[in-house]
Amino acid sequence: MPDVGEGLTEAEILKWYVQPGDTVTDGQVVCEVETAKAAVELPIPFDGTVHALLFEEGTTVDVGQVIISVQTGAEEAPAAAAPAAVEAPAAAEAAEEPAAAARQPVLVGYGVSQASTKRRPRKAAPAAQNGSAPVALPAVPAQPEAAPAAAALNGNGTGHAVGERPLAKPPVRKLAKDLGIDLASVVPTGEGGVVTREDVHAAAAAAITPQAAVPAPAQAVPVPVPAEAEAPVAGGARETRIPVKGVRKITAQAMVGSAFTAPHVTEFITFDVTRTMKLVQELKEDPDLAGLRINPLLLIAKAVLVAIRRNPDVNASWDEAAQEIVLKHYVNLGIAAATPRGLIVPNIKDAHAKTLGELSTGLSELVATAREGKTSPADMQNGTITITNVGVFGVDTGTPILNPGESAILAVGAIKLQPWVHKGKVKPRHVTTLALSFDHRLIDGELGSKFLADIASVLEHPRRLVTWA
């Protein structure tokens, strides 16, 4: 599993495009994986024949683990293939320490971290004595049968020597810390006495229900399966548990962090957008904009950019370490998008410098890419202000939570025909409600109110797109 950068340490295998026996060529996509930020296709870096797929679809794999074995060169001796990290090496070598210098598969735009695959030397390395690699490689995942032997090494029931620091990858250590589990008390089932994430989960379950620790260690290692396979299996089932991972997991963590870090304030405004709706129809018929997607969201995005120009101090971020407010002289406009894998917020880079047509193109590409699940991590970085359109679900408004690191988020409610006083008479008019949540460390009540009022003013009288631009 290549190092994808962006601080990510694991990825879930969504789909294999090859099977054992298939011929692969340099650059051919062999699988699709989902990190905590996006789904990405992985290419193979050499020619050969697929020997084995070491993890099933739906399995979450740590960065640096070998996921596929490929035999290069039909006449080559197995030992000659040892320098390549994902060729057919000895099972023990492939499982624990792939050669970092030879590992080349990377996600597009990201390099391979040479340090991410380094692990401590194993206590035992059962290698073939004749120098040839074993034919079968399914021993890469940790074997449950190793647990009793590992535990017996030191007679303390854990497999760790007294005072010895347990062996575990950084992601496993973080998981143990989050769950409040002492790694020294965990029975390792990984080869060489390495604590795996399954071991930590088993220890956490045993801490809650001690009787669950009675079965043999082999029962403590669950077989990963996709979320789709965990639907109710019986008509009388009262609960269904769905693992939270990938995009949903990182979104949940980010929202909790944002909600309890940035002091949120939300303000609302309800107003008449009839003129904006008429302008949308006129722009759809404009030959200069032929082929572009014109909708209310486009003009709302433009209104936000105009309001930021009038109130530049809202476009900022909080530097906790330096205790400084960082004013941004660019706008990376985020658009919250609901996808099958969860909510993501890609952003249009330098939206402030784009024409209406360029902004329309940017919105269309952003939404299409998000729906296909192909949004890259870079597209979701460095956002400044976000728009979330809850109106498409028929919702009038809401109190949105800030995207971490951003100063404000605007929720757009449903646009509906309602009785409205217009020029002294009650008439049916298109009315909507905007809700603006902002970080009160960056934006005080006056600035936030002016910014929201300016957005509404532009949409109520869209000629201000020109007069205020």
432-456 pLDDT, tens digit each = 999 999 999 999 999 999 999 999 9
CA distance 113 to 130: 33
Same domain, 184 and 258: no
pLDDT of residue 36: 63
Kindly state whether residue 135 falls inside one of the protein's structural domains.
no
| Nearest partner of 156 among 180, 186, 176, judged by Cα | 186
Same domain, 307 and 420: yes
Mean pLDDT confidence for 73-95: 42
pLDDT confidence bin for 330, thresholds 50/70/90: very high
Kindly state whether residue 122 falls inside one of the protein's structural domains.
no
- Last-in-domain residue among 170, 196, 230: 230
Q: Spell 87-124 as b/e; 16+ CB within 10 A means b.
A: bbbbbbbbbbbbebeebebbbeebebbeebbebeebee
Kindly state whether residue 180 falls inside one of the protein's structural domains.
yes
Same domain, 402 and 453: yes
Kindly state whether residue 4 falls inside one of the protein's structural domains.
no
Mean pLDDT confidence for 256-271: 84
CATH number at residue 18: 2.40.50.100
7: DSSP letter: T
pLDDT of 136 higher than 70: no
Same domain, 254 and 214: no
DSSP string, 78-99: GGGGTTSTTBS--HHHHHH---
Residues linked to residue 417 through DSSP beta bridges, in sequence order: 430
- Last-in-domain residue among 171, 203, 230: 230
Kindly state whether residue 136 falls inside one of the protein's structural domains.
no
Lowest-pLDDT range of 102-106, 162-166, 250-254:
102-106
Mean pLDDT confidence for 406-418: 95
Contact (CB, 8 A) for 310 and 468: yes
Same domain, 343 and 408: yes
Kindly state whether residue 124 falls inside one of the protein's structural domains.
no
Same domain, 221 and 351: no
pLDDT confidence bin for 248, thresholds 50/70/90: low
Domain that holds residue 411: 248-467
Same domain, 66 and 202: no
Kindly state whether residue 341 falls inside one of the protein's structural domains.
yes
For 52, list phi and psi in degrees, rounded to 5: -160, 145
Would strands 167-168 and 48-53 be described as parallel, antiparallel, or unpaired? Answer: unpaired
Query: Does 136 or 181 have the greater pLDDT score?
Result: 181
Same domain, 442 and 339: yes
Same domain, 304 and 438: yes
Same domain, 187 and 256: no
CA distance 165 to 160: 8
Mean pLDDT confidence for 364-371: 88
CATH number at residue 430: 3.30.559.10
Same domain, 285 and 380: yes
Mean pLDDT confidence for 336-350: 86
- Last-in-domain residue among 200, 230, 260: 230
pLDDT of 142 higher than 50: no
Same domain, 435 and 292: yes
Kindly state whether residue 430 falls inside one of the protein's structural domains.
yes
| Nearest partner of 72 among 2, 1, 24, 136, judged by Cα | 24
CATH number at residue 195: 4.10.320.10
DSSP string, 397-409: ---PPPPTT-SEE
The CA-based angle 162-163-167, given to 5 degrees, is 95
Q: How many domains does the chain have?
A: 3
Q: Known catalytic residues?
A: 440
pLDDT of residue 179: 75
pLDDT of 121 higher than 60: no
CA distance 299 to 334: 15
